[in-house]
Amino acid sequence: MKLLHSIAFIVLAAALATGCSVNPVTGSSELSLMSPEQEVAIGEQQYEPSQQSQGGRYVVDPDLNVYVNNVGQKLARVSDRPDLPYEFVVLNNNVPNAWALPGGKIAINRGLLVLLDDESELAAVLGHEIVHAAARHGAQQQTQGTLLNVGLMAAGVALATQDHEAAGLAVGALGVGAQAWQAQYGQRQELQADKYGIEYMVRAGYDPQGAVELQKTFVKLSEGQSANWMESFFASHPPSQKRVEANREMAAENPGGVRNRAEYQAAIAQLKEDQSAYKDYQQALKAMSEENYSEARRLADKAVKAQPKEPLFWELQGRLEAQQKDMDGAANAFSRAISANPEYFRPYVYRGMAYKQLDKPQEAAADFQQSMNLLPTQISAYYLGEYAMENGDRQKAIQYFQMAAQGDGEIAKAAQAKLQQLQQQGG
């Protein structure tokens, strides 16, 4: 035990001696065990799976993604780390949230965009997230986690939507999710992101009053909300009157700049037009969870008719068809969802399950494999293990079942049982 303590002390001492670096935003000296190159690599590695696990990209109006990226890049160019490979995407997620991974990989949910009034408020959100990346807040949290032997999630990226049944499909996703990084931000880092985010707004020509209005909106929205709703944006970006006042003081020192309300409202026009359809979708999910399937179908049909480009609506129709044991209808609906967005993992999982019921093992395996290419999950790994086992590929079956056995839950238990069976057969 003394030897272990001695080794730990030596490692910690070495880290403290060699791990100090200058924060590129604040100019202060800080401990960091992660190099800038490692930051970029982590962001690149985790950006796609983090998007997948939180709804995938919003595809109904591609121009909105272009608009948000343009605003983000405008701010990134005047940041303290303009050399980072910044990216900005809109996620197809109803929860009001935004996040940044190390290395400048940033996302904002459509559920937050509809709460904003103008481009300066969008700039306040994106500027805030840019600071988290530029000031190396994610790297700081990883350093603290390493020294405290806490670490970050290695598995179990949760799907941050209000569709809890569908969320189960993402259990066992491999990798560090965006939520693991953002949930660790402390009050000091949040205030720092507010302060320098406003500086970036001013440098880019935006009215910093947008940051004041943004925080006022968040404080108002946080009042009387449910615990689940509060677990979203406000869990990692807690609003407070203190932040409102701090933003107001900084804005008063830098008056002027553009708000660009007309431009912003034009950019989100399609999204706002579709809000009633998304509301029908959420209500349909609730009705389905309460086993009121006729009402769920009525609402799902209404949503699809209002916006046939939305893959979530087709996916819901497929789930309702599957509940009624119409697997052909379910597979067709899931195919429509895939056609609307072929780069999202979840409809492939659902269609694969429908194909299994239709006794189409090759088609099912192809869908499960495609879903794994987009986001590895326990359920797809398990079914691919079954497929390999049925086709006599013992080594591949073991590989997939080992993946599916990670974590807890019924799928993990079933995978462990399959592994025992294979070991006995090989034994």
Per-residue model confidence (pLDDT) at position 153: 26
What is the C-alpha to C-alpha distance for residues 62 and 56, in angstroms, rounded to an integer?
13
Note the pTM of the prediction, 2 decimals.
Answer: 0.85
In this structure, the number of other CB atoms found within 10 A of the CB of residue 293 comes to 15
Helix, strand, coil shares of the chain as percentages rounded to 5? 65, 5, 30
Q: Measured in Å, how far apart are the chain's first and last C-alpha atoms?
A: 38
Place 427 in a pLDDT band, splitting at 50, 70 and 90. low
Place 225 in a pLDDT band, splitting at 50, 70 and 90. low
Q: What is the mean pLDDT of residues 240-263?
A: 88
pLDDT, averaged across the chain: 84
The tokens for 390 are 């049925």
Local structure of residue 224 (DSSP, 8 states): T
Q: Helices marked H in 135-203 — which ranges?
A: 137-147, 164-167, 178-182, 187-203
The domains of the chain, with CATH numbers, are 2-261 (no CATH), 275-358 (1.25.40.10), 377-427 (no CATH)
Condensed to tens digits (0 to 9), the pLDDT of residues 99-145 reads 999 999 999 999 999 999 999 999 999 999 999 998 876 665 554 44
Q: What is the mean pLDDT of residues 283-300?
A: 98
What is the C-alpha to C-alpha distance for residues 313 and 207, in angstroms, rounded to an integer?
38
Q: What is the mean pLDDT of residues 46-64?
A: 97
Q: What angle do CA 70, 76, 82 make, to 5 degrees?
A: 135
Residues of the chain above pLDDT 90, percent: 63
Cβ proximity of 360 and 329 under 8 Å: no
Place 158 in a pLDDT band, splitting at 50, 70 and 90. very low
Structure-derived torsion over alpha carbons of residues 234, 236, 242, 245, reported in degrees to the nearest 10: -80
| pLDDT of 202 higher than 50 | yes
